[in-house]
Amino acid sequence: MDLRPVLFLDSGIGGLPYCGRFARRNPGERVIYVADRANFPYGGKDRDALGRILSALARDLDNLFRPKLAVLACNTASVTALALLRERFPGIRWVGTVPAVKPAASASLKRHIGILGTARTIADPYTEGLLRRCAPGCKLTGIAAPDLVDFVERGGDRAGIDEQRGRAAPYIAGFRRAGADAVVLGCTHFVFLRDAFESLSGEGSPEEAVRIFDSVEGVAGRAESLLEKHGIRAAPGGGAALPGERPRNLLVLTGDGEPGELWRQRAADAGLSLGRLGEF
Ligand code: DGL
C-alpha cells in the first residue's frame, strides 16, 4: 500500500480531463493536479526554456508532495522534457502524453493524418520521430493552434457548443483541404473541444469525413497499469485505502495571482480543493 499522491501537470487546464479519468477509475488514489499558470503558454517556448521551467517545477513538487507517479498531461512538455525529467527525478515514475498517432494511422484510409498541437509540438523533432515509429508510410499535416489553446484556457472549456464549433471549424477545414482523414488532438487543451470537433468531422461528402483521436484513455490507463505493475497502488483494485476514506485531492496553481472565479468553478466541478503552490 503506497499512499503517496499521483501528480498531473500541464501549463493550465488542459490535463484536467486526464486527471479526471484517472481519478474516477482509481478513487482510492490521491491526485494532485498542477496548472503551471505562471509559465502559460508552453507552446511558444523552446526546448531549453521548457527543460528549465519543468525541472524547477518538478523539484518544488517533489519536495512538497513526494509523488509516486507523475503524469505530464501536456504534449508540449512531454515531447520536449520527459526524457530530462526521467533522468533528473528517477524516484518518480513518469508518464508522458504524446499525440495518439498510432490509432490515427490505423484508421486512416488515405494514409494521411493530421496533428493539431502547439507550435513547439508540431515543430519538434520528437514528433517527426514519433510519426516514423508509429505511422510509417503516413503523410503528416501538422497545424499549430495557439489561439485555440488561449481560448480554452480563458474559459472556452465552459463555452457553448456553437462557440466551440466556430473556433474548431477553420482547423477541420484546413485538415480536409490538406487531405488528412484522421486528426489527432495533440494538445491536451483541445480535448475540451472534442465534441465540437466530432460534430464537424462528419460534415461534407463521405470522402471528406475525418476521424478525431485523443490520448485520454491511453494515458490514464498507462498511469493505472504502472501503479499495478510496480505494486504502488494505494489499495488493491484502486478502491479506498481504508473503508469509507476519500483522499483529499488538490488543484494547485503556480504564480502569485488570485485564482479567480473561473478556477474556483473548475476546481469545484472536478471535486478538487483549490490552492496556490506557495500555500502548501
Ligand atoms: N496543453 C499543452 C499541450 O498539450 C500546451 C498548451 C500551452 O501552450 O501551454 O501541449
- CATH 3.40.640.10 given to domain 6-97+217-279: no
Per-residue pLDDT band for 38 (boundaries 50, 70, 90) equals very high
What lies within 8 Å, CB to CB, of 243 at 6+ separation is: none
**How many Å apart are CA 68 and CA 61, to the nearest integer?**
11
Please tell me if the domain spanning 6-97+217-279 has the same topology as the one spanning 101-214: yes
- Assigned C-alpha cell, 147: 489561439
Summarize pLDDT for 204-215 with one digit per residue, the tens: 777 788 999 999
- For position 50, what pLDDT does the model report? 98
Residues assigned a catalytic role: 74, 187
Residues 76-98: tens digit of each pLDDT = 999 999 999 999 999 999 999 99
pLDDT tens column, 216-238: 999 999 999 999 999 999 986 66
What residues flank ligand 1, with Cβ below 6 Å? 10-11, 14, 40-43, 74-76, 118, 121, 149, 187-189
Topology (CATH) of 101-214:
Rossmann fold (3.40.50)
Three cell numbers written together for 28: 482510492
Smallest Cα–Cα separation from 117: which of 103, 106, 108, 128?
128
Tell me which of 3-7, 32-36, 239-243 is least confident: 239-243
Q: Is the pLDDT of residue 242 over 70?
A: no
Domain layout of the chain by residue ranges: 6-97+217-279, 101-214
Q: What is the pLDDT of residue 248?
A: 81
Centre of ligand 1 from the C-alpha of residue 227, in Å: 25
Residue-level length of the chain: 280
pLDDT band, very low/low/confident/very high, at 241 (cuts 50, 70, 90): low
Using CA positions, which residue lies closest to atom 8 of ligand 1? 43
pLDDT above 70 coverage of the chain, percent: 96
Task: Pick from 36, 50, 75, 120 the residue to mutate for probing ligand 1's pocket: most ligand atoms within 8 Å of its CB.
Answer: 75
Q: Quick one: pLDDT band at residue 203, thresholds 50, 70, 90?
A: confident
- The residues, any chain, with a CB within 8 Å of residue 149's CB and separated by 6 or more, are 12, 14, 41, 43, 118, 187, 189, 190
